Every structure is written in C-alpha cells, then in structure tokens.
Chain A
Amino acid sequence: MRRTKKAEQLAAEKFVSDTVARGDAARAGEDGNLPKGATHEIVEEPEGEAPKIRRRRFRLF
C-alpha cells in the first residue's frame, strides 16, 4: 500500500525531530566542522518550524 504524501512528510518530520533529539544534528563551528558524533548540519532554523538539516557524514555507531 502506497503511503500518502502526508505520511511521507510525517516520516521526514519524524526523522528530523529524532535526529535533533538525539543530538545528531548540530550547527557547524566557525571552521565549518561539526561537533564530534554529529552526522547532520543544521543549515536553517525557521522560527516556529522544525530546523532544516543536511547530512554531512555517516558514523560507525
């Protein structure tokens, strides 16, 4: 059964929310590097909305 568009958005929102909640998303430092352990960079934080993130790397665990 194909998910509706709304369900796909829900999946993306949940992914962002979980990534932020775990501390896996962070703003890059002045040198452009992410803190140790982070996999995603927070690239935008629109007011009243979930942050926009993009993957920078995968880690072992």
Chain B
Amino acid sequence: MPPAPSSILAWEDDPGAPGSRRHPDAQPRPTLAAAPLPVSIDAKAPPAREFKVGSPEFRYWVAAEALARGAQFWGTILPKGTRWHSTNGARLPVELDEDVDLNAYYDRHGLHFFHDTVKGVTVYSGESPDVVCHELGHAVLDGLRPQLWDALSAEVAAFHESFGDMSAMLSGLQLQSLREEVLAETASRLDRSSRLSRLAEQLGWAVRQGHPDAVDRDCLRNASNSFFYTDPLKLPPTAPAATLSSEPHSFSRVFTGAFLNILAGMFRLQKKRDQAALLDTSRDAATILVTAIKTTPVVPTYFSQIATHMISADAATFRGRYRDALKGGFVKHGVLSLQAATSPPSPAPGAEDAPLARIALPAAHLGLPQELFVTAASHPKRFAVTGAAPDVGGTESPGHDDAAAAFLEDLVRRGEVDFNGHAVAETAVLAPKRRKTHEVVREADELVLVRRCIDCGVTLAP
C-alpha cells in the first residue's frame, strides 16, 4: 500500500493582524523544482508534516506552498519559454529570514524576506503568502519584460508594484478555500473590501504601529479603493496613505484598483457565479494581463498603454467578451479617459437646434452614434466663486455647456448611465452596474439623457 501523501499546514493569504482568528489549512507538500519557474529556498527543508504555528518549520512550509502555488500559476499563463531573469540563475533563490526589517525585496538575485518585533509580536514577511506572491510577481514580470526594470518612469515603476499586488490576488484565487471565503465575504461582489483586496494585513499592522499614515488602515494596501489617475508629474513625491503620491507603491493603487474592478466585472459575466467560475475568471484576467504586457511599449504613460493593450488582448483572445468590464474598470479609475476608451464609430453629426435649457453634447466618445441632449444648468451665476484647484487658487469657472459635459462624463465614468441599447456596443463603456441613475431615451430623432432616480449614498458596490 503506497504511503499517504504528506501534507503541511499553510496560511491561505496572510496570518492576519494580531487578534484575527485564522487557522492554517492542510495542503499537499509543495513542489518547488517544477518547470518552467523553479524556486530554491536557502534552507534545509524540514520533514513534510503539519507543524505548529509559530515554529520555523511551519514558516518554511507556508513560504514554500505560496512560492510553489504562485510559480505554478504563472508558469501556466506565461508564454512558452519564459524564464527567470538570467542573473537569478535557473532556480529563483529565496532567503526566508535574512535580517531585521519590516519589508521584502526582489533584486535580480532572488527574493529576500525579513522579520521584526513590534509590540511583542514578531512578524516574518516570508510567512505571508500575500507578501511572498507579491515579491514573486516582481520576479515573474522581470522574466517576462526585463525592460521595465530600470525605466525612469513613475508609471512603469508603479506598474511593477501593481503587478506584484495583482500576483498576490491571482495566486490567492488558485486556492478553492480562499475563493469560497472571498465569495462569501463579498456576497460575490469582488470589488468590495475582502481578504482578496487586502494585501498583507499582518505586516500592514506592524508598519502602522510605527508609522500610522504610511499604510492603509486595514492592511498594507487595499485594492478596493477609489483612487483616480492623476499625472504623476503633478503629484508630490510622498503623501499619507490616504492620498496619492508619485511614490510607486502609492501610485500603483490606481492600476490595482482598476484591476479589482475589472476582475469583479469579468466575474459578473460568468454564467455560474461560483468558485469554479472565479477560478476561470482569474486565469482569463491573468492571460489578458500577460498578453498585453508582452506587447505594450515602455513609455512614460504606461498605465493607459497597458490598459489599451489589455482591451486589445481581450478582443484577440476572448473575442471581446470582457471588453465592457475592462473599459469600465479603467475608466472608473481614470487609467483611460473616456475619449481613449472609445474610438468614435463615425464623425458626430452637426449640431441641431435645441431648446434654450437643453444643449447638445458631442457623444461619439461615449459610443453614441449621435449627439446627446442634456438639460444644462444654464441660469446665470449670481456670485463669482469657484471650487479649489488641486494646487493653489481656484479652478476656472466652466460655462454651463462645459459643466454639463463634465457632469455627463463623470456619470459615465461611474457607470451611472443606462444607454438602453442606443450605444454602439463595440465602442461604448457599458459598465455592468445594476442600478443606474440616468438613462438615454429617444425622443423623435434625438437621444436625450434623463434622470431615472437619485442615488442617496456613496457608490460602494454595484
């Protein structure tokens, strides 16, 4: 009789902040040497048994399981022939506990993890599968696209960080138990804050004890966010975690936030919304991401370039199945402007006469075949006041037509407009949101925007 397969205990995504009641799961003994992305831990492997939480043997198997899971996942997604960057060697070296630090690194000579003690709790960065799979993501991306390593661009550096966070999320979703937990925690609305969106809760807690504004309040970085793209040229080099800066980890949250929205939108398009469908979604999202990375030129405006290439990759690989989810996520976070997310199907027709308070706005960039009539706030101003500009002074006071155009664009970005089939599907951003506050209706020959309801509250989930 063959011996029973040996099992080990491992965290699914993270030990959690002190006080959380997580239990490690039994997993089969991981294989680190498997092609095409073999990994080598710089320590002798303990026997494959279920060790006690807190022991060095337990931490070894947690890291080994996460490394093997992440490497196996990306190995099936990457183009054939992709290897680690040559300076790493054939096997990616991993040092599980190099020194005292609350951090982890990838340096083209492998992955490096650390430990530190905070308020009596010793935190090992290599004990968090989130952290392990983030660092592994850097190495994966470096093997796939080494040109990104040293590009002097805030967007390129931020994308590397975002890829690490996306790697943590996608690697986590390869575990059935985590998929089931996340679906339960979010009521199947994946863009909600959950163990999927919250990266490195334990390490985030540890950092927060010494630097309360350096990380998000519930983890290191939460992908469930509302950060909106701003040209990093116009951002400060550092800022509290609650705001955006040009610092790569801070700025990465724009792209990662869009990606979580996209993942949620892609999942909503599945016939059955169960854990198996979520597994398929994660693999499709990774395929789109990797296909785009391979072909996207390295330019300062890298975010919008990658986004456009992802839409193109979806068209080529999945016949545009996920087009609306991609556009919706990117437009919502400003990674793509509406104009960039849509290509006008035909020149907009000339302006038509309209009643005084109803103005015609160009709508080709919304995917509409003709102008859209909206009711403008056209009363004359009584006081010469403006809102504050992001830098100093006040903003320019827009005319009512500009204000209406800006408002319409914001509505579409937030997915609040039901186009009722009037938009050209290939070009419009048809956000898969259930409740819409406005709709486009036909009145005689005109398309008109009318309000359907008033949404009393913040948009937390569709």
Contact = CB atoms under 8 A, between A and B. Distances in A.
Interface of A: 3, 7-8, 10-12, 14-18, 21-22, 36-37, 53-61
Contacts of A7: 300
7 contacts: A11-B233, A11-B300, A14-B232, A15-B154, A18-B246, A58-B106, A58-B107
B247 A58 contact: no
B154 to A, nearest CB: 5
B249 interface: yes
B385 interface: no
A37 B103 contact: yes
Given A14-B233, A18-B246, A60 B153 contact: no
Contacts of B108: 57
Interface stretch (B36-44, B59-67, B130-138, B364-372): B130-138
B131 A60 contact: yes
Nearest to B245: A18
B233 A22 contact: no
Contacts of B215: 61
Contacts of B135: 58, 60
Contacts of A3: 299-301
A11 B298 CA distance: 13
Given A11-B154, A11-B300, A36-B101, A60 B233 contact: no
B51 interface: no
A56 B112 CA distance: 13
Given A22-B237, A59-B103, A15 B152 contact: yes
Contact of B107 (A11, A22, A56): A56
A9 to B, nearest CB: 10
